[in-house]
Amino acid sequence: MLQYCGAPTHAPTMSRSARLLELIQCLRLHRRPVSGAALAEALGVSLRTLYRDIQTLIAQGAPIAGEAGIGYVLRPGFMLPPLMFGDEEIEAIVLGARMVTRDGDAQLAHAAANALAKIAAVLPADLRDRIEITGLIAGPKEIGGGVDLAALRAAIRSEHKLHIAYADASGKASERTVWPIALSFFEKVRVLVAWCELRQDFRHFRTDRIARLTVLAETMPQRRRTLLRLWRAQEGVPEPQ
């Protein structure tokens, strides 16, 4: 029996690019040859169309072994860059990149723009055009002030402690040594999630209230992955899908 590969059966409105992607996904799920009839049924196309799609993928460099009447198998390790994303996945990536370009620090915004350009460069022409004409727009930025988010992100990645000068909502100032584990991007604020040595617990610090930060040479005594899992459990935050 052919494993479910994500393609709806008998979906005449599916674009050819999306269908080729689903065909690759179907083949990836199987180590042994899969019959053309089973693949055609899973994709909701005729056997003739399936054979034509197989030949298209082979012409684009996909290492598909097999033949009509015997079955097809995709050799492991293959990636086909132009077909990595479906229509809605492209929209999600475009919107996410545009929001990061709008809300991130200068380095993150530049990285998002570069990533989107790289994705567009390997997409088929019909999908590349959809990046330009998509109706998903990131609204104007309403955030300002605060410390350099690039420094915060670097400390999170390297798992180094931070020393911060912080003022709470009432304006009371304090000096803290914290273990940074995440940076939350809300609509109008950015919040650093960290273990606070002063409070011996997880705390949340608005970045616009951090007057000064210093990345310390000392690394965190626990791995960030472990701390993030503990914070999620404590706050009731579900694991990302």
Average pLDDT, 10 consecutive residues per value, the chain (241 residues): 48 68 83 89 91 90 82 76 65 85 84 83 72 68 73 93 95 96 87 95 95 95 94 87 55
Q: Per-domain residue ranges for the chain? A: 16-79, 87-133, 149-235
- Per CATH, the number for 16-79 is 1.10.10.10
pTM: 0.59
Express the helix, strand and coil content of the chain in percent, nearest 5 each: 45, 20, 35
Q: What pLDDT was estimated at residue 144?
A: 60
**pLDDT value for 173:** 95
Answer whether 47's CB lies under 8 Å from 93's CB.
no
The pLDDT of residue 231 is 95
Give the phi and the psi of residue 197 in degrees, each rounded to 5.
-65, -30
Dist. CA 10–CA 182, nearest whole Å? 43
The CATH code of the domain at 149-235 is 2.30.30
